[in-house]
Every structure is written in structure tokens, then in C-alpha cells.
Structure 1
Amino acid sequence: MADRRVPAREAALGAAVVGGSLAVGGALSSVGAAVYFARKALTPDRQRPDDTRILAVDERSVTLDLTVDTQMPGRYGLWLDGSMGHVRLGEVKDVDEERGRVRREVHGVDFGHLAPGFARWNQYYFAGPPDRALRVPTEYVDVTTELGTMPAWVIPAAEETGRWAVLVHGRGARRDEGLRAVKPLRDSGLNVIIPSYRNDLGARSGPDGRYNLGLSEWRDIEDAALAALQRGARELVLVGWSMGGAIVLQALSQSWLSGYVSRVVLDAPVIDWGDVLSHHARLHKVPAPLGALSRSLMGRHSTRRLVGVHSPLDVARTNWVERAAELRHPMLLIHSVDDEFVPVGPSERLAAARPDLVTMERWDTARHTKEWNVDPDRWERSVAAFVRA
């Protein structure tokens, strides 16, 4: 009978082949996971699901499912019927923890029909064009960009001063996000322009249809600022929320128009995308090496197609704690220590690195970009005082 034992050398070779296959398979699996995480961070959210249930409605209040958001103090909004309606909500009237319910004031139904059913929570409070939401004169304009025209709202000041504010919303947000800032800015004598940028709903897509962490979006904001200059602006104030803050910082760094900028206001800004991406990797239990690999894939020319971007995205260029010495403009940072989406740490470190330029307004309680909602009077006072200085 033939000897069926495998010679030692062949056994070792077989083990090496199997081990190598497992290693290659593991590496491919790691790359796949890193690609998925990177694409998730860079892909626009076209359709956001309803996240709030309306249980009961009466003349002055609405009863909702009790969630982290619905029990927060302050003023908020609800999109109704897939954004076909909108209602403004005020403070919590009572909480029934046993039944999982919360009752809040109703400040007004802007449009649509408020009835039991599903809805979507928002921090905008105000919704729709400024002339309808705020009862202020509003022009509907198109800003010419390298990708084509982009819609924008222009709210003129009561008296022309030559000062303009450019308002930049965050990732996946709408222009409505900037409406909360219109009153203190306009009352301070500033004209306001609220532009769209690439990959917004209803605006032009970028070459890759992906967010670029502010590294390309700043060009659209430069074009909005140029539109303001063409209308007589002599001074610009840039205001950004969340990723809008990252966009503003890139514009200050790369745009020839930065010389016209006098002041900058950033609310819950992304000061360092590396920190934000690491935070979300931890939240989703993505191992740190995979998170680092995803950032590396974004930045390499050879792998940019894997994550779906037209040009490499160098995350290090978005770290303004490291680049703090490059900043030249007085800046107001508004950021909550309880921000669950963009941690406050980089804002605090930037304020510590540049106390000559940066004024830090620390909030608590407020979740991401909801500082105004929790304390609108303080927010408006702080912004008005800063831009008037």
C-alpha cells in the first residue's frame, strides 16, 4: 500500500499557501471594510428616514415618542409628510417616561397638515425661503460656479452698509440651516447670502457626486462671495455650521477673496476631519487600523477610485489645530461640550492655540449644531456682538 503521509516539506508548503490565502483574504476584507466606511462618510444622504412619531395633536401642543432628541430643551422643527409640511415646536410641557411620551408646545404650522403619524426631527426651527419663514425681503438668485449655476437666497439689510455675510450649511443639511442666523446678522447691518454648494439636494453634483470634506466645496462658496462683491460688498463675514465650518476654513486658506473677510463665525465646526472620522469609527466599532486605512485610501491617487472620489482627499489638510499658525481672521467658535456628532475637543484646542484670534463660546446640553435651539437669545447676542465689534 502506498504511503499516504505528506512529506514535511510539502506540508510546510501547503500550510504556507493556506496561511497566505487567509492573509490575502483578511487583507482584502480589511480593504473592503475600509472602503465601505470611507464611502459612507463621503456619500450624500439623499433621503433621510422619518425618525419621530407623532402620537397626538391638540391646538397648542403635540405628543411625540420619547427619544433623546424629542426631550431636549429648546425650539426645534418637524418635517411632515416627507418634507411637504413643517411645524415649529417649543419647550417640553411634560414627560411621561413610563409610557415613553413627551408633550411639547406648538409654535406654528408653517405649511402642510399636522396630524398623528411619522415625521422627521430637525434643528432648523425655521423652514422654507426667508420671505416665507422670516417675513424678510428675499431675492432668489443663481450663483455662477465652475459646475453651473447654484440657487441662493439673498436677504438685503434694511440699510446698505457694504457688509455681507455668507452662510454655509453643514453636511447633508439644507440652506434652511442658516435661517437662525439671519436676524442677528441683518439687525447688525449685514446683507445675507445663503448659497447652495455641490451635491446639495436641488443643486449641481460635483465631478464624483461625493462630499470632499470641504476640499472642493469651498470653490462654490468663493463664487457666492464673489457674487456679493459684484453687488457692492466691501467686507465679508463667513458663517459655517459643521462641515460648513470646514468649508469656510478651506476658503480662508485657498480663496483669493479671503482678503475681504473681516470675521468668521463657526457653529459646531469640523476643525479636524481626522478627529471626526475617528470618533465615528469608535461609535460604529470600526477598529482603529481600519479607520486609519479608510483615511489613507481617500488620500491616495491610486486608490481614490475605490472610495469614489475624483481627486485624492488629504485629510491632514483639514486639521486646523495643526495649521493654527496659518489663520489670520478673528473667529467666534460656538460649540457644545455635549455635541455627539462633532466632538468639541478640536475647537477647544484651536481656541487654546490661537487666543489672539479665536473667541470660544462653550455650550452644554445642546446636541450637534443645536446651540441656537437650546439658547437662542445667547446665540444671537454673541453673534451680534462679535460681528459689530
Structure 2
Amino acid sequence: MISISADFDPVHKGHEELIKKAKEIADKKGSEVVIYMNKGYSANHAPFFTPFEAREEMALALGADKVIAIEGLHHRLILSYSVPIRLAKMHEDGVTDYITAADISLNQVKNYAQRFIDEGSFLGMPQDFPNRNVIRWYAINEFLSKKFNRKIDFHLIPEVTSPRKISGRFIRKDILKNNLVISDDIKKLLPKTTIEILEREIDNGTIPGKRNMKVLKHKMNTYSRSSLANIAYLNGKVINKIVEGRFYKEDEESIWASFRRADYGPVMTRLAATCIEEEVRKEEVLKLMRDYEEKGVIPNEQNVDKIIERAWYVAEEVDKGVSAKEANEKFRKKHDLKLNPLMTLEAGLNLTKFEAKKVHEGLDANVFIDKDNKISCEIKEKKIKIKTNLKLPSKEVTYLRYILDSRYIPVSGELIKNKRNDYRIKITIHNY
């Protein structure tokens, strides 16, 4: 099988060249061209402009033999985790060749990818890398070759640059700007079959696909800090910016501004907003990652244990007076660390006599970062809702803050009593 993996939203002349190259290789090998097409949400965590069925039809019209839907990943995982899963599926399906486009050579891709291959981690791809996603796919293909005992052959074709460099984002933006009319300039970038299918879908009202802004705004307007803390990819800073930005009305820009104020880039903003809209909880993401870790698809350097170990290591180093930045760099370079991070912590809290009479052991305590940037908890019992700061040693504060900001490691709290009969919060860090 000769494969291409893409959003194809919509299928343009650059995609047509990919399919032509794939068919050329397929004809030589007596194989078929298979498109692994994202469904549900795009690789960049956004709703699709064009429905899946229309994009599938566009790809088949240009000569692809089959389309396989990739679904359920891109509203839960960043690319450093979703790409290994997609590539592993290709291996399992018997794919022999992978086709993509870039404006750099294969040797340049190899050189850029080598650092990540050596480190065994595909996180932190620098923003200034050209064709970052191509480099990521190449590096992960090298990693998975050890698991599957073979490599999928990697083929690069030049990106189409005439009459201009083609981008699905540019095409979508232009069609929207022209009130869903495909301009003559955009038609030059699209195969005839794509134009016909796009115009039909526009007439049918299926384009453009949109977020459910009503649901997103409702949750951003009403969820408490402690509730938002359970949603994947939300750290303490962005949660506080969301709450500060209330109340969101019809102005969508105000929503995106709250994420920008929390230093979220466009891709992470889309993922975080999608997680709020779809109610993707940290527990759900973690269990999905653990499942693929057990299958050997996720590199050891990216697994959940490493994230927890790094939080503990940095907390220990900061407690010794080392800067967090230096501690993170030291952790990246050490591969033989024997760490035993705490998975349960006990925190003190302040309860009034009245509050103490209304609560009891076993109550859930949702842990979150409050508006003053302190670790707090919320306890609910019947008509009582108690919010209080938690008391922890400085090292445990640093550690727990890293965990709370990890974006997908769940933390739970439970009201307990110690030997002196004082109420405490037992905090559990979950790694399943």
C-alpha cells in the first residue's frame, strides 16, 4: 500500500500531485494508493471546512483507490502523540511507502530529524524549523521501524508553488471572505472535480463546518476554576484568564483573546477550545496515551511516567536553588535517573468551625489554581461550597503546580483526618 496522510480540506492541486506520485509508485509495485484522511477534527484541532464524505469523494476522483478515516485523535492529542498512532496503523495495515511534500530536500529533513531520533522524543519541535510536520513524520517513522522491524519508505515531492504556494488555509479563508463564492484565482489552485464537489456542498449548506460556539461559550461562562481544571490542555494561567474574560457574548474574538493572554499559540488554543467544547477530560487523554504506551507506539521519553518524573526532579532541584529552566535542561540530558516521585500528598487547609461541622471525611476536594495563583481546593456538600488555599511544603507546591499544568495528568483530592483529628486534603496524582 502506498499512503498519504492529510486533512485534504479541500483537496487542491498540491494534493493532486501527491496522488499522482503515489499512483506512479503503486503502478510499479502493483499496489494501491490509500489516503489516511482525518475525520472529526483536523490535525490542527479545528473543525473541518469541508465534510469528510466530500473530501473522500475529492480524493477518489483524483485516482486514490481507498480512503481510511482517522478519527478520535485530534481533539485529544497533540501531533507528537497522534502521529505515532497514525504511523503505527499504517505499519499494521501493511503500508510500504509514504508520500508527502516539502520545500526542503530529504537529506535536510534527515538532518533536522536526527536530534529527535537520538533523543527518542518528538516534543518541542522548534517553531523555526522548516516543514516541521514532515520532520516529525520522518523522525517518528525511524522510531517505529524498531518496533515493526521495517521502515516505511519516505518519499518527498516539491511543494506546488505555481501560480502561488498552495495552502488549504489560504483557500478556505478566500472562499469565506468571498461569501462562499470560489473566485477565479482560487479555482486555479483546485482540480476541476474539487471545484464541482465544493460548489455542490456550498449549495447544500454543508460548508463551512463550524464549532458549536453556543456550547463553548456556555462552558467558558459558567464552569468554575475547579471544573475547568479537569479539562485537558488547560493550565492554571489559561483557566484564570478564561474566568477573568467573562462574560463571553457574540464576539468570538474575546474567546481567542483569553487564550492569547495566557500565552497559548494558535494550535494549542484550538486544541484547548475543542477540549472544552467536547468535554475532553484529563483522565480520558491519559488513559488513551497509556493504551498506546502499552502497545509500544509512544516513545519512552514521552510517556506519562517521564512527565511526572520531570516534575518531581525539577521540584527537587528548585528546592536546592537551581532555576526551573536549568533543572529542565538537566533532566533532558539525564537518562539513568532513579526517581521515586510522590503520588499522594497531604495538604493542610483552613476551615472555620462552622465549615468543619458541615463536612466529613471522604468528601471530594477539587484541586485547582486560584485567582491569586495559589493551589486551592473546592469542597461541596449539600448546600455548602467551601474554597480554601492548601498548605504544602515549597517543594511539593512546585511539584504539584507542574502536575496541574501538565495538561493531561489528573489530580484528585479527598477530605481526610490526621491522627490529631485535623482535617487534611489527601491529593492523589493519577497515572493509571
* Band the TM-score falls in, shorter-chain normalisation: under 0.3
Which protein has the bigger strand share? Answer: 1
Q: Normalising to structure 1: TM-score of the pair?
A: 0.23
Give the TM-score normalised by structure 2.
0.22
Greater helix percent: which structure? 2
